[in-house]
Structure formats: structure tokens, C-alpha cells
Amino acid sequence: MVVFAGIVATISSRADEDPEEPISTAMWEQDPPEVDSIWVQKLTAPISEGRNMIMRIKYASSRVLPDTIRVYYGASGSVLFNDNGVAPDLVAGDHIYASYLTENLGSFEMQMTALNANLQPLGTVTVFEGHNGKSVPVQLFDIVGFNNFQEVLIPAKITSGFNCDAELKREFSLFITKLAVTEDPARTYNVVDSTGNPVGAWTFGQMIKNMANEAATGVSAKSFLKAWVTSWLDDIVVNGDTVDKRVDARLFLIYPWVIKANPAFVASSPLFTRHDVTGAANYLIANPAYWETLWNNTPEYDLLINAPFKLSAIVNRIDLRGNPAY
């Protein structure tokens, strides 16, 4: 079961020094080829080295792939899959890769039975197309067919049947909100009362500097941040969805931010030649681009440490993880 579980959980490939893998797979960890289907087939009798199962993996035909793909699992295990017409592969170049595996068939059957048992009561599972989720009927593993030596599909949502047998506490794992962490004075900064470390590793300003990566991109954190703030002022399309502009972003976000970051410059600006709130508001409405003048005349450091954002949670973005089998 170790080989099968490891491959299905981390199905992927990575760059290999063997000359039989001429197409570079160095970037597959973050940009893996899409897996369309996986099948397994029990052999009527083991062959050399105790190999007793065939696994076939069908990749989508959207990219050029090598004739062989080495799939890694666990700490050091790997299996070489072939699409070159050599057994157990059936047809060369059809994007269906095959390999013999050595499995504990009893453990494999027990695991698949347990997954089926956990899935069946659910009735449906959720699948996503972009941001849109929909429920589809549960598809179970065909244990009878497998034991009759047929090629059997591994259902795409079979892993939904895994049960961790423990209550998950999201505040300690996927979604960390414990204040001792999110308000750690060595790593965070409270812009309201100026406590903590203004250049701490988890501060908004430091995160922006990391993303801008000026040394590599030539883009300063100040410019990077300004581009982000500017995107709030107009409707934009993100992943096909229209995000409406924040109509009051200037009055309630940008201007208070810059006023705190650079009070000396702001004090000499037209905003403070008015002696009433209405007059200042009218000036801002009549001059919507004036915030850029204030921004451009404020030092980067002051903009970053006075940003009106605080760390509320640390989220485990497992959707951004690399694929360890590539």
C-alpha cells in the first residue's frame, strides 16, 4: 500500500539525470502536467521482483511530455512510468504512462474498502471549476473488478474518504488566530499604539518588501504598494470576476494613512488650508488624484510602518504548495 498511496497522494515528476528523460521537468513541482485518470490492475501472478500490479496514469495532452516520467513518493521512493510502447505500456505516445508496482495487495484492498465505506454515506462530493463548486455523485473503487484482474479506475475524489480520526482545530493548524502568535511583539507591529517591531518579519510592510523583491525586480516596495492601492480605485477583473472599486478608499483609507505617515508634508498641503472638514472633503472630491502627490512625497519606510493593516491570522495555503513527487 505504501507505493500506491505515495504515488496517488503526490502524483508528479521531477527533473532526472537519466538520459532517458530528455525533456526537462525541473519546473513541474510548481507547474505539473495535469493528470486526467489513474487506473490499477492486479496481475494474475507476480513477476520479477515481486511486482504484482500495473498502474497507468493518463496525462492531459496539453503539453509535450517525455517518453518516461519518474514519479517520486515518500522520503526516497520512486517509480519510472513509460509511454514508449514497452510493457506494461500499451501504446507509445498516447500520454498514458504505465509501470509495474510491488504492493501488499491485502493492505491495498483493506484501504480501498475503508475509503469506499467512508465515501458511500456522503452520497456526493464537491468538485470545483474555477471558483464555482458543484456536487457530484460519489464514485467508489471497483474492488470486485480489481480482484477479477480487470483494469480499474481510481476515482478522482477517492481521497475524500480519508478520515484523520481526530478533531481538527483550525486555529492551531489551517487558520492560526492565537493572539500570542498574531500579536507577537518581535514579529508584528501595532500601528495604533506604536508597539512591537515596525520591521518585524510578519508586519505588512515587510511582507510587501518581500513581494516586491526590489533586488530581483527593480520595483521598490513603495511603487509595488502604490500599484496595489491604485487597483482599489477602479473596477478590475480578477480570474474572470469583476471586483468593484472602493468608492471611499481615498477618504477613509489612503488619506488617513498618508496623514499618519507624513504629517509634516500634509500640514503644508491644500487640505490644511481649509479650516473645516467640509472644505477639506470638497477639495479631495474636486482633486481625486491628489493622493498621489501626498504618496510620492512620503518616504517608503514611513508608508510601510504606518500601513493601516494588522496581522489577523496565518493561513496555511496548501493550494500553493509544490507537488513533492515532481
pLDDT digits (tens, 9 = 90+) for 45-96: 999 999 999 999 999 887 888 899 988 887 778 899 999 999 999 999 999 9
DSSP for 240-297? TEEE---TTHIIIIIHHHHHHH-HHHHHTSGGGGSSSHHHHHHHHHH-TTHHHHHHHT
DSSP state of 235: -
Residues near 185 by beta carbon (within 8 Å), at least 6 away in sequence: 195, 196, 197
Whether the predicted pLDDT of 220 surpasses 60: yes
Whether the predicted pLDDT of 41 surpasses 50: yes
So what's the pLDDT on residue 163?
Answer: 67
Q: Could you give the CA distance from residue 108 to residue 7 in angstroms, rounded to a whole number?
A: 13
Residue scoring higher pLDDT (144 or 19): 144
Which of 17-31, 173-187, 277-291, 296-310 is least confident? 17-31
Which of 23-32, 100-109, 139-148 is least confident? 23-32
Please give the C-alpha separations between residue 202 and each of 142, 309, 318, in angstroms, as whole numbers.
Answer: 49, 11, 19
Overall pTM surpassing 0.75 (yes/no) = no
So what's the pLDDT on residue 1?
Answer: 47
Q: How many CB atoms lie within 10 A of CB 99?
A: 22
Show the cell assigned to 321: 504548495
- With cut-offs at 50, 70 and 90, classify the pLDDT of residue 12: very low
Whether the predicted pLDDT of 24 surpasses 90: no
Q: Could you give the CA distance from residue 226 to residue 269 in angstroms, rounded to a whole number?
A: 20
Which of 21-30, 253-262, 285-294, 309-318 is least confident? 21-30
Rounded (10°) angle between helices 204-212 and 221-230: 100
So what's the pLDDT on residue 67?
Answer: 92
Residue scoring higher pLDDT (12 or 42): 42
Please give the C-alpha separations between residue 291 and each of 15, 136, 255, 308, in angstroms, as whole numbers.
Answer: 49, 50, 7, 16
According to DSSP H, which parts of the chain are helical? Answer: 2-9, 105-119, 143-147, 179-182, 204-212, 214-217, 221-230, 249, 255-261, 263-267, 277-286, 290-296, 300-305
So what's the pLDDT on residue 318?
Answer: 74
Whether the predicted pLDDT of 288 surpasses 60: yes
Mean pLDDT confidence for 301-325: 85
Whether the predicted pLDDT of 303 surpasses 80: yes
Q: Could you give the CA distance from residue 121 to residue 133 in angstroms, rounded to a whole number?
A: 20
Show the cell assigned to 157: 475524489
As a whole-number percent, the residues of the chain with pLDDT over 90 amount to: 50
So what's the pLDDT on residue 309?
Answer: 94
Which of 19-28, 240-249, 298-307 is least confident? 19-28
**194 with 310: CB under 8 angstroms?**
no
Whether the predicted pLDDT of 6 surpasses 60: no
- With cut-offs at 50, 70 and 90, classify the pLDDT of residue 146: very high
Q: Mean pLDDT score of the chain, rounded to an integer?
A: 84
**269 with 294: CB under 8 angstroms?**
yes
Residue scoring higher pLDDT (177 or 151): 151
- With cut-offs at 50, 70 and 90, classify the pLDDT of residue 104: very high
Which of 15-29, 136-150, 162-176, 244-258 is least confident? 15-29
Phi–psi pair at 38, nearest 5 degrees: -135, 130
Please give the C-alpha separations between residue 193 and each of 126, 180, 309, in angstroms, as whole numbers.
Answer: 45, 17, 13
Residue scoring higher pLDDT (125 or 98): 98
Hey, where are the domains in the chain?
Answer: 2-161, 184-310
Q: Could you give the CA distance from residue 180 to residue 188 in angstroms, rounded to a whole number?
A: 11
Residue scoring higher pLDDT (39 or 3): 39
So what's the pLDDT on residue 268?
Answer: 77
Q: Could you give the CA distance from residue 27 to residue 269 in angstroms, rounded to a whole number?
A: 51
DSSP state of 83: -
As a whole-number percent, the residues of the chain with pLDDT over 70 amount to: 83
